[in-house]
Amino acid sequence: MNIARVSSQIFLGQPAGAFKLTFRLLPRGLVMENIAPAIAPPSGMGERKSVNKAVLTWVHEVESLTAPENIFWCDGSEEENDYLLGAARRQGVVIQLNQEKAPGCYLHRSNPNDVARVEQFTFICTPAKEEAGPTNNWAGPAETYDKLHGMLKGAMRGRTMFVVPYIMGPPASPLSKIGYEITDSIYVVLSMRIMTRMGALASEKLGQKLDAEFNRGVHSLLELDPERRLICHFPQDNTIISVGSGYGGNVLLSKKCLALRIASYLAKKQGWLAEHMLILGAESPEGEKHYIAAAFPSACGKTNFAMLIPPKHFAGWKITTIGDDIAWMHFGQDGRLYAVNPENGYFGVVPGTSYKSNPNAMRAIERDTLFTNVALTSDGSVWWEGKDGDPPKTATDWKGNPWTSDSKEKAAHPNSRFAVPMRNNPVLDPKVEDPAGVPISAIIFGGRRSNTMPLVFQAFDWNHGVYIGATMASETTAAATGAVGQVRRDPMAMLPFCGYNIGDYFEHWLQAGPRLTNPPLIFNVNWFRKDADGKFLWPGFGDNMRVMKWIIDRCEGRGSAMESPIGFVPRAEDLDLEELEEVSSEMMRDLMAVRSNEWEKELAGQEKFFETLQPYVPKELLAQRKALAARFGR
């Protein structure tokens, strides 16, 4: 008999015999190893059923379809988490790290074929293709439900079906949303407890009303076969179905699926904004405080910017974090934009994180952290490229293979991640639970660009700012599968996350301006411009404070700038560059240069991008493009 694709996931790093293999018969007649064997919780554990009949009916439907061995209702308690961690260890799903060095920390290794978001397998399933628009993969809802139900049929046989209730946003906020994720992955449950407000408080908030709104998420690992991997969104039904993956944004359905794709659709309909943005607070030594939101594409610096520690020269400044990835923003009665962070934790890029680059993140991940795909050292700690100090001589790499410091392969996967509760962040902003959110003074767009884009510039006005966001581009990173380092347009850092027609999304942004009597000012930054030798010109990280200071000065109406074809740009003397020896005035010139040969290419790139979106590009943005070209004398 054919043993099909034995997954390596549960073998990795585990002593032989650490768990019992269970086999099961698949509909196709193949015998396969069960990669997520059912757990047998003690009585009283996992029994906290929902009191909402609509939830019960739906859970029962999914149960009938997937045929799990048992159902585990998650309540989010400490005891439950301890039990699930134990079960996950016994199954080899997580490895407990050295508890003296890393209390509460665990390591998970995903299947090597499953290490990043899969944009090619991500679908928006709306009745009309036009609703999904030119940037999304589309499939019709009826046929997609059929297909997915076919894949899910009996998929949880021999497995436990976990039911995970969660809240996105401060529980008392009118913006907050409730979701339920059904999953057969313990790793997903453990992660959801960190990343969301998970458990009984969510089911209590939903209450008993039959028509109470909640997102229905169904996830199954299936067999982790990349050819049977699909992430499907049904915005009209507030439903998500994800199959065949066990990794990150593909399966933590609260995050990109609900808080961005579904939420952006709802936001358009209901008149608010769901954005791929960090939110930070910046308080001057004089006690003047501003909140700033920034949209950078995946792996382009949101988490780092949200937690930055200013250089010594900025003593007295305090930077605090509201969120590191997603902002839900609404229009306040005072004509300002207010933002909440829907999440409860950070799912951050590990490589490059060090006490030098991001000390606050390092302190946060000293405990209670679930690492995915980093290297394991002989003393039971974790290591990754870019961590402080010398690399260990030997380690176990992210795939579970022996690794030495001479190895050519990376010890940690470039998209390895930490999941850590936001409470661990030493600079968590005190207003993070404020139901009203925080008022946003500035919106920053930014991408990873080796050339063309200066360190910082400011939009002339709201509509110009929307144009800057809409034409943003960035070099691709390891956060999604596919080629790395290729410049692609990524409007507002939402290309993979906008759950509806991008033309309507642009229109929504344009209409937001006039609704705000006191709109945030809009800026663009680029921390990643390189010199002729391919070295970053700007030190980045904490020194990004220098750019933020200018942005705040502009918000206060006191920073000076010069007008250029692309917007207002600071002269070197407008930025506070004291005690920044590593950047010469020549480098500063290169960082700030607006070169017409580069912009010629850029303009052509923007035009080409808009052509791919036609006929949906709002007229105002076409007019903005013309005006920009004209300012370059074209």
- Give the catalytic positions in this structure: 300
- Surface-to-core class of residue 620, CB atoms within 10 Å of its CB (0-12 exposed, 13-18 middle, 19+ buried): middle
- What six digits make up the tokens of 180? 């339920």
- Evaluate whether 152 touches 220 at the Cβ level (below 8 Å): yes
Contact stretch for ligand GTP (CB under 6 A) within 8-16, 99-107, 395-403, 534-542: 534-542
**Is residue 349 near ligand GTP by the rule CB under 6 A?**
yes
Of the pair 160, 196, the CB lying nearest Mn ion is at 196
Of the pair 298, 369, the CB lying nearest Mn ion is at 298
**Is residue 359 near ligand GTP by the rule CB under 6 A?**
no
Phi then psi dihedrals of residue 437, to 5 deg: 80, -175
Query: Which residue lies nearest ligand GTP, judged by its C-beta?
Result: 540
3-class secondary structure, 236 = helix
- Evaluate whether 73 touches 181 at the Cβ level (below 8 Å): no
**Is residue 508 near ligand SPV by the rule CB under 6 A?**
no
In angstroms, the CA 478 to CA 295 distance is 18
- What six digits make up the tokens of 501? 């027609």
By a kind-dependent CB cut-off of 5 to 8 A, residue 256 interacts, out of ligand SPV, ligand GTP, Mn ion, none, with ligand SPV
Kindly determine how many residues on this chain lie close enough to bind Mn ion according to the rule CB under 5 A: 2
Position among 33, 324, 325, 368 found at the interface with Mn ion (CB under 5 A) = 325
**Is residue 268 near ligand SPV by the rule CB under 6 A?**
no
Residues in 167-196 that interact with ligand SPV by CB under 6 A: none
Of the pair 62, 307, the CB lying nearest ligand SPV is at 307
- Surface-to-core class of residue 429, CB atoms within 10 Å of its CB (0-12 exposed, 13-18 middle, 19+ buried): buried
Of the pair 299, 440, the CB lying nearest ligand SPV is at 299
- What six digits make up the tokens of 498? 């906008």
Of the pair 220, 303, the CB lying nearest ligand GTP is at 303
Report, in Å, the least distance between residue 324 CB and ligand SPV.
9
Helix, strand and coil content of the chain, in percent to the nearest 5, comes to 30, 25, 45
- Evaluate whether 451 touches 88 at the Cβ level (below 8 Å): no
- Evaluate whether 278 touches 325 at the Cβ level (below 8 Å): yes
In angstroms, the CA 179 to CA 235 distance is 13
Report, in Å, the least distance between residue 280 CB and Mn ion.
15
- Evaluate whether 590 touches 529 at the Cβ level (below 8 Å): yes
In angstroms, the CA 308 to CA 317 distance is 11
Of the pair 248, 311, the CB lying nearest ligand SPV is at 248
In angstroms, the CA 542 to CA 204 distance is 42
By a kind-dependent CB cut-off of 5 to 8 A, residue 248 interacts, out of ligand SPV, Mn ion, ligand GTP, none, with ligand SPV
Angle 353-359-362 (CA atoms, 0-180°, nearest 5)? 60
By a kind-dependent CB cut-off of 5 to 8 A, residue 117 interacts, out of Mn ion, ligand GTP, ligand SPV, none, with ligand SPV
Q: C-alpha distances in angstroms, 29 versus 2, 20, 37, 68? A: 9, 22, 19, 18
Q: C-alpha distances in angstroms, 75 versus 45, 86, 164? A: 9, 17, 8
**Is residue 352 near ligand GTP by the rule CB under 6 A?**
yes
Of the pair 398, 527, the CB lying nearest ligand GTP is at 527
In angstroms, the CA 410 to CA 414 distance is 8
Strand spans (E) along 318-361: 318-323, 327-331, 337-340, 345-349
Residues in 285-314 that interact with ligand GTP by CB under 6 A: 296, 298-304
Helices (H), 224-336: 248-251, 263-270, 302-306
By a kind-dependent CB cut-off of 5 to 8 A, residue 624 interacts, out of Mn ion, ligand SPV, ligand GTP, none, with none
By a kind-dependent CB cut-off of 5 to 8 A, residue 540 interacts, out of Mn ion, ligand GTP, ligand SPV, none, with ligand GTP
In angstroms, the CA 246 to CA 365 distance is 22
Position among 245, 264, 357, 360 found at the interface with ligand GTP (CB under 6 A) = 357
**Is residue 527 near ligand GTP by the rule CB under 6 A?**
yes
3-class secondary structure, 161 = strand
Which residue, chain included where needed, has tokens 């250089």? Answer: 311
- Evaluate whether 576 touches 607 at the Cβ level (below 8 Å): no
3-class secondary structure, 488 = strand
Of the pair 48, 255, the CB lying nearest Mn ion is at 255
Contact stretch for ligand SPV (CB under 6 A) within 131-139, 248-256, 424-432, 564-572: 248-256
Position among 33, 184, 275, 325 found at the interface with ligand SPV (CB under 6 A) = 325
- What six digits make up the tokens of 144? 């997609």
Residue 78 burial (CB count, 10 A): 7
**Is residue 387 near ligand SPV by the rule CB under 6 A?**
no
**Is residue 416 near ligand GTP by the rule CB under 6 A?**
no
Tell me the Cα Rg of the chain: 24
By a kind-dependent CB cut-off of 5 to 8 A, residue 255 interacts, out of ligand SPV, Mn ion, ligand GTP, none, with ligand SPV
**Is residue 108 near ligand SPV by the rule CB under 6 A?**
no
Position among 255, 399, 489, 554 found at the interface with ligand SPV (CB under 6 A) = 255
**Is residue 9 near ligand GTP by the rule CB under 6 A?**
no
**Is residue 347 near ligand SPV by the rule CB under 6 A?**
yes
Of the pair 80, 325, the CB lying nearest ligand SPV is at 325
Of the pair 256, 336, the CB lying nearest ligand SPV is at 256
Contact stretch for ligand GTP (CB under 6 A) within 120-128, 257-265, 537-545, 584-592: 537-545
Query: Which residue lies nearest ligand SPV, judged by its C-beta?
Result: 249
Give me the residues that bind Mn ion (CB under 5 A), please. 298, 325
Residues lying near ligand GTP in the complex (CB under 6 A) are found at 296, 298-304, 324-325, 348-349, 351-352, 357, 479, 527-528, 536, 540-541, 544
Interface residues with ligand SPV (CB under 6 A) are 117, 248-249, 255-256, 298, 325, 347, 479
